[in-house]
Amino acid sequence: MTLHGVLPVRKPKGFTSHDIVGKIRRLAKQKRVGHTGTLDPEVEGVLPICLGQATRLAEYIQDMPKKYRGSVTLGTATDTEDQTGQVIEKVAIHNLPTESEIVYAMKSMVGEIEQVPPMYSAVKVNGKRLYELARKGEVIERKARRVQIYDFEFLGMDRGEKPTIHFTVTCSKGTYVRTLCVDLGKKLDLPSHMSYLIRIQSGSYSLEDCVTLEQIETVANTGDWQSILHSMGEAVSTFSKMIVSEAQEFAVLNGKALQVEDPPETKDGLIRIFSDTGRFLALYREKEKGLLIPEKVFRDVE
C-alpha cells in the first residue's frame, strides 16, 4: 500500500536527515520519501518527512519559517562554528555583557540580514561542497546570502566558567543558526560558538506533533501508519482553503482552470482545493482576480 502524507519526526542527535529518510523508506516500504530541510547530525528536533504524493509538497513546507531553541557559548570560537569543531580562538572574559547589551544586540539582528555560509556546510562552490574543502584545510571566499530573522529572543544566561546565552530564534529557510551565534558574539566583541541547538518548529509542526524513531518502528510492526501520518492538506495549512462542488471537483482533477466569483483571500497566491467530502484535491494559484489555475493536482490520492 502506498502511503501519502507527512510524518513529523523528532530527529535524535547522531543521525543525518538522509539517515532518517532511509530508515523510514525501509520501515514503510515506500520508494518516494523525502525530508523538508536538513538538520546537522548533532542537531535534534522537528524534521517533517514526506511520503508518496506528499513529496510534491516538500518545497512549500521547506519554505515555511523554522523555530529553534539553542545556546551560544562566549569566549571560544571553533572552526565549525559549533561545539563539534576544533578551538581556533579562546579569550579570558573579564567583563561579561549585560542582559540589556545582549538583548540590544539580538534585536539588531532581526529582519533581513546577510550571512556568509560557514566553510563546514553543504553549500556547493564550483561543484564541490564546502565541508569537503574545509576538511582539506582549504578556506575559500563565499558569497553572502540574504535570510530573514523573524524573532531572536533572549531566554537567560549562565555566568559560570563558560558563559552561555540561551535563546530562541524564528528564521527563514537557509539560515545558519551557527553563523548567527558567531555574529552575535562579534556584536558583543567576543569569540563564540553555538553549543546546543534543537529545532522546535518547522512550518505547521512542533515538537508536540513529532513521533520518535522507536514509535515509528512500533507502527511499522503493526502497520497502523494512519495513526501517525498527517494529511497532505494539513501540511500546507498556512495556505488559504476553498471547497468546490462535485462538478468543479471533476474539473480540478483534470487540471482545468477555475473561474470563481469570490476566491478566498491569500497572501502568497496559493489556495488549497478540497472536495465537499473533505478530500484534498490540489493546490491552485490565483493568476488574476477570480481566475485560479492549477499548480499541483493530486488525483491519485484518495
pLDDT band at 137 (very low <50, low <70, confident <90, very high): low
pLDDT at 120: 63
What is the separation of C-alpha 121 from the centre of its chain, rounded to a whole number of angstroms? 16
Output the average pLDDT for the chain: 91
40 is catalytic: yes
Two domains, one topology: 5-63+204-233 and 66-200: yes
pLDDT band at 290 (very low <50, low <70, confident <90, very high): confident
At 20-73, the pLDDT tens digits run 999 999 999 999 999 988 888 889 999 999 999 999 999 999 999 999 999 999
Catalytic hit among 40, 82, 183, 209: 40
pLDDT at 23: 96
pLDDT at 267: 75
What percent of the chain has a predicted confidence (pLDDT) above 90?
A: 75
Domain 66-200 has CATH 3.40.50.1000: no
* Residue 128 scores a pLDDT above 90: no
pLDDT at 116: 77
Fold of 5-63+204-233: Pseudouridine synthase (3.30.2350)
- pTM value is 0.91
pLDDT band at 264 (very low <50, low <70, confident <90, very high): confident
At 185-240, the pLDDT tens digits run 999 999 999 999 999 999 999 999 999 999 999 999 999 999 999 999 999 999 99
Residue boundaries of the structural domains of the chain:
5-63+204-233, 66-200, 239-297
Class for the domain spanning 239-297 = mainly beta
